[in-house]
Chain A
């Protein structure tokens, strides 16, 4: 569905209008240049094209309305939801709407990337304004043709109608005339009460190609004459090849060449299978470097020791030391989570064709502008010489973002060397053992209760690798996300942070920071409630006076789940809240434990993301985020021994299976607030909702993930 440049220029007649896209306004982005194997590249601070229109819609003579989507699709339904926003203000017939991926072009679109559940948040205003402007142009074109005042005209689902005479002209007929008119500014937007497209559970625009095998993922790219490559990488992070014996590999039929590259040793072959087989036949002696003694136990001990040292203040209210000193009762607990792999269904891969004066890259990446810049730096070509084509992604979850471009670098490096198109294919083992992991993390809490037993003071000492990487010793806002921005009103609160770095590469993982810190916070808050003899929902309510939207979802979930009412025999409930990516949700998990076997039967999720765009897609994202978080809570664990990842495939790093999927009930709060994010919103709260339910069932507090079910007998 990616549109190439030639096609883009050839799209002929009709109305094509551009509109200015803002950058990531109002959203905090860590802004230091970040190191990669191929040199430092600037983060997201690419200025928007100054005053130039930077995204396009086309209305063709045949009535088709095409939106050029500047974000990438990895499951979140971005083509459909963005199109709905546009179509609403344009007032066209939804049946005629198509979405295409826009080319990667900084001069037209500024920064293109798909991170932080930001697509809807950043496109909400520009898409509405573009739709409204185009609609006004179509009305003006009709009014001119009829020789009437524009105030006499209105639109009806793809037609301009003369309200007095009842005459009608379709958008397709008007498009060419409208295209000659100036683009109006400050066109009034619709009232939310007039919406007939935004908020509707329309079917996704990309379903059909995804159920027929037609959708092209990076893995599916085929270029005439291309070679296939597999890469052997040092099993120890930071190591490099000391000696390579490729005799056996080179003797295998179909193997073309073995070449050393920045990430390891690449094998070029005539198909993926031969490349992978030959890669395994390489005999490589590795210089393992300083990381070869690293173990999970050692990392844990380092975290616990770091947590006792001074930290950098991340959030402060009142005086936590005084607050704890005057508390009637204090409790302490430490929490820990392991490294996690992203384990996208589609292993990493990329295809590149580097020529002397041009380069084409086909990549399943979330951050195409960064990837294009990196390719330019690696090839010595100007960015505009790089034809960068983004494919569908078989899951992203943060593995394919701007800090994780290694798979693209490999394809570019190998194609440059081979002077031929090259597709790099990672095996599942490569993917799992050479990820940029969700960091392991550790928090030491102290909580204080007042004379009535209500929580009033909280001190959280965070020890976690700094991420994204690049600024050792400084505050890592991501590492404390979910704690530094917590909404609970503790009169006395302190969150501080100390970097606890290892050689294990770490980066963003769906709901970065929040996914572990919400587990920590919501669990310990539950501990404080229990210590004071308080109901977990009531204890949370009392701390949320200034955050009505979070209080609202809590109350809604409690009502829908019949919180506090009798449950079926053997069932227990736990509650947790999540607030990230501009959205709020409350989850109540209902579990049973039979002979030590934990089962999550049902999850009630009340969700407030402001104005819903497409409830069907929202429901998908919420249920999907819960499945993702639940997989981690129940099973996810990457362990390190002798500097190596011990897991390699789904038999040693299992994920959620269909028979473990709870029934998820989603209640979306009607709202006219500006839309918040959805893709990452429901991930953080599921783990603590489940572990808090375990406490209700077994009086056992789970302070370390994944949950060891054997311990629940």
Chain B
């Protein structure tokens, strides 16, 4: 067991955990943040995607010891009131079906949008290839990422009164 400190959704967080315990299970079982989902345990499906220092990572294979001192953002902390442009677009286009993979999809898409303000279809495919959706929402995800880019650009130019 070790005491590990990091920043979680903008607040200082300390956990006592086995240093080898994956961030995913620390979030879900120790801290009760269940928005980040377990899907495969091997970084193959993307359901557990969170941001660590702004980068989309698979929390199921990231040991908690590697998170010490870093900034972690989960779906619960990505915005208040579902106001992130990705979430706004997801609502507008009704992307989710069962919804289980959507936290991961949203976190991957948000990381993409943060570094690429106008992603092409190919950019979206590249960034989201690792996020499986068994309901087949892919077409809607693509459209929603484009829409989110529009919303974000309106926000930047001050025209996005929402």
Interface residues of A (CB under 8 A from B): 73-77, 203-204, 206-217, 219-220, 222, 228, 253-254, 271-274, 276, 343-347, 392-397, 425, 427-428, 616, 620-621, 623-628, 631, 649-651, 655-659, 661, 663-664
Contact = CB atoms under 8 A, between A and B. Distances in A.
B151 interface: no
B67 interface: no
B137 interface: yes
Contacts of A212: 35, 75-76, 82, 87
Contacts of B100: 217, 344-346, 392-395
Given A75-B135, A663-B139, A210 B129 contact: no
Contact of B139 (A211, A616, A664): A664
Given A345-B39, A659-B126, 20 more contacts: A73-B98, A207-B90, A210-B99, A211-B96, A211-B99, A213-B34, A213-B35, A343-B134, A346-B39, A393-B98, A393-B100, A394-B101, A395-B135, A425-B38, A620-B94, A626-B136, A627-B133, A628-B136, A649-B40, A661-B142
A100 to B, nearest CB: 17
B155 interface: no
B25 A273 contact: yes
A292 B142 CA distance: 45
A207 B94 contact: yes
A678 to B, nearest CB: 12
Interface in B61-108: 74-76, 82, 87, 90-91, 94-103, 106
Q: How large is the interface on B (under 10, 10 to 19, 20 to 34, 35 or more residues)?
A: 35 or more
Given A211-B102, A655-B132, A428 B138 contact: no
Contacts of B75: 212-213
B138 A661 contact: yes
Contacts of B136: 623-628, 656, 661
A650 B44 CA distance: 6
A286 to B, nearest CB: 23
Query: Which 10 A-B pairs give the minimum distances between C-beta atoms?
Result: A213-B35, A627-B136, A394-B100, A210-B99, A75-B98, A75-B97, A624-B136, A220-B34, A661-B138, A659-B125
Interface string B101-142: 111001000000000000000001110110111111111111
A423 B75 CA distance: 23
A410 B134 CA distance: 25
B76 A394 contact: no
Contacts of A208: 82, 91
Nearest to A77: B97
Contacts of A206: 96, 99
B47 interface: yes
A73 B132 CA distance: 20
B45 interface: yes
A344 B40 CA distance: 11
Contacts of A623: 136-137, 139-140
Q: Which of B37, B100, B142 has the most CB of A within 10 A?
A: B100
B21 A273 contact: yes
B55 to A, nearest CB: 19
Contacts of B99: 75, 206, 209-211, 215, 217, 392, 394
Contact of A219 (B38, B101, B141): B38
A393 B98 CA distance: 7
Contacts of A393: 98, 100
26 contacts: A73-B98, A208-B82, A212-B75, A213-B35, A216-B34, A222-B34, A272-B28, A274-B18, A344-B134, A345-B98, A345-B101, A345-B134, A345-B135, A346-B37, A346-B39, A427-B41, A428-B45, A624-B136, A626-B136, A631-B134, A649-B44, A650-B45, A655-B132, A657-B129, A658-B142, A659-B126
Contact of B35 (A214, A228, A428, A631): A214
Contacts of B40: 428, 649-650
Nearest to B44: A650
A625 B34 CA distance: 28
A203 B88 CA distance: 13
A669 B118 CA distance: 36
A213 B97 contact: no
A207 B35 CA distance: 14
B1 interface: yes
A554 B136 CA distance: 24
Contacts of A427: 41
Contacts of B132: 345, 650, 655, 657
B32 interface: yes
B101 A76 contact: no
B38 to A, nearest CB: 6
Nearest to A213: B35
Nearest to B126: A659
A631 B133 CA distance: 11
A624 B137 contact: yes
Contact of B29 (A76, A228, A628): A228
A395 B35 contact: no
Contacts of A625: 136
B2 interface: no
A255 to B, nearest CB: 12
Interface centre among A343, A346, A397, A631 (most CB of B within 10 A): A346
A395 B94 contact: no
A203 B95 CA distance: 10
A573 to B, nearest CB: 19
A384 to B, nearest CB: 30
Contact of A627 (B38, B91, B101, B138): B138
Contacts of B98: 73-75, 345-346, 392-396
Contacts of A276: 41
B134 A211 contact: no
A350 to B, nearest CB: 14
A77 B21 CA distance: 36
Nearest to B124: A658
Contact of B42 (A272, A624, A651): A651
A219 B91 contact: no
A213 B45 CA distance: 17
A659 B142 CA distance: 10
Nearest to A659: B125
Contacts of A211: 82, 87, 90-91, 95-96, 99, 102-103, 106
Contacts of B34: 213, 216, 219-220, 222
Residue among B35, B126, B128 with the most chain A CB within 10 A?
B35
